[in-house]
Amino acid sequence: MNKDRKDRDVIDDDLYEEIDDVELVELVEKERQKALKKADEEKNRKPKRPFPKWAFWLIVFALVFNVAAMIPKTFSFPAIDFLITSAKLSVKDNIQTYKKAVVVIETENSKGTGFSISSDGTILTNHHVVEGEEEVTVAFPEKGLYTADVVNTYPAVDLAVLDMEGNHLPHLNLSGKPSFKPDTPIYFIGNPLRFNGIANKGTIIDSITLNGWNQPVYMLDAPVYKGNSGSPVINMDGEVIGVVFATLNHESYGRVGLFIPIDYYWKHRG
C-alpha cells in the first residue's frame, strides 16, 4: 500500500466511524417515508394549491416527536438534524433539480455517491468509492439503474470518472472558475448512512494540505457522514465547485468535512 492511499484511509476512517446506531437510522427512515407519503397525498389532492407551510411543519414535528418517543433520550441528535435540514431544502426547486443528477454508486462491498456531468452518461465520483472495480451499478433517482464502466481514475486526488450509455440524462454544471473564500455558503447532496438523496448545506472554512497530498483540499463546516463520498459541492450559482471525499478531526475547527476542488478534475482531464 502506498503512502498516499494509507493516509487517505486514515482520513476515511473518521467518516465511516461516525454514527453507527442502526436502530436509530431505521426509525428515522420509517418516519421520513411516512412524511414524504403524506406530502405526496396532499399534493395529489390539491395540485393547484402550494403545499401549506403549516402542514410541512406539522409533518416535521410529527417526525421528530415519533422518533423521540421510540428511542432513548440519549440518541444522537445530529442524525435527526441533518434529515430535517434536508426536508427543508428539498422543497426548493433548485435543490429538486440538483438531486435528479446525483446518483447512488454501488459495488459488491460498498455504497457511495456520484453525480452526472453530461447528458450522455459521464459520472464523477471518488477513486476510493470505486477502487479495484472495472464496472459498477449507478442508480439515478428518476432514470433508474445503469451499469457504468470505470474509465479514468486519479488516485492522487481521489477522483474517478465513470461512463455509461445514456441519453438526455440530468446533469450538473461544473464551475470553470470556482471561488473558495472562507464562509462561502454551499449545498451538497449525497447518500449518507442508509439514506439516499439527502441535501444539506454548510460553509467553506479554509484550505488544508493533508499528509501525503501535494495539493490542498478544503474544509467544510457541514454534516458529512459515511456515504457522502462523491457528493457534489454546489455554490449558490448552481455550479459544482468540489467533491466531498472524507472528514477530519481538526485541532481548531473540530470535526469537518473535506472536499476536493473541481479544478483538480479539469487539470487531470487535460
- Active-site residue set: 128, 158, 229
CA gap 6, 142 in Å, rounded: 37
Beta strands in the chain (DSSP E): 102-106, 111-116, 122-125, 135-140, 144-154, 159-163, 173-174, 185-190, 198-208, 217-221, 232-234, 239-250, 254-261
Residue position matching grid coordinates 459515511: 226
CA gap 174, 116 in Å, rounded: 10
Strands 111-116 and 102-106: antiparallel
Distances from the Cα of 236 to the Cα of 31, 118, 125, 201, angstroms = 30, 20, 21, 11
Angle of helix 78-89 relative to helix 22-45, nearest 10 degrees, comes to: 20
CA gap 102, 219 in Å, rounded: 21
* Coil, helix or strand at residue 31: helix
Yes or no: say if 208 and 196 are a contact pair by the CB < 8 Å rule: no
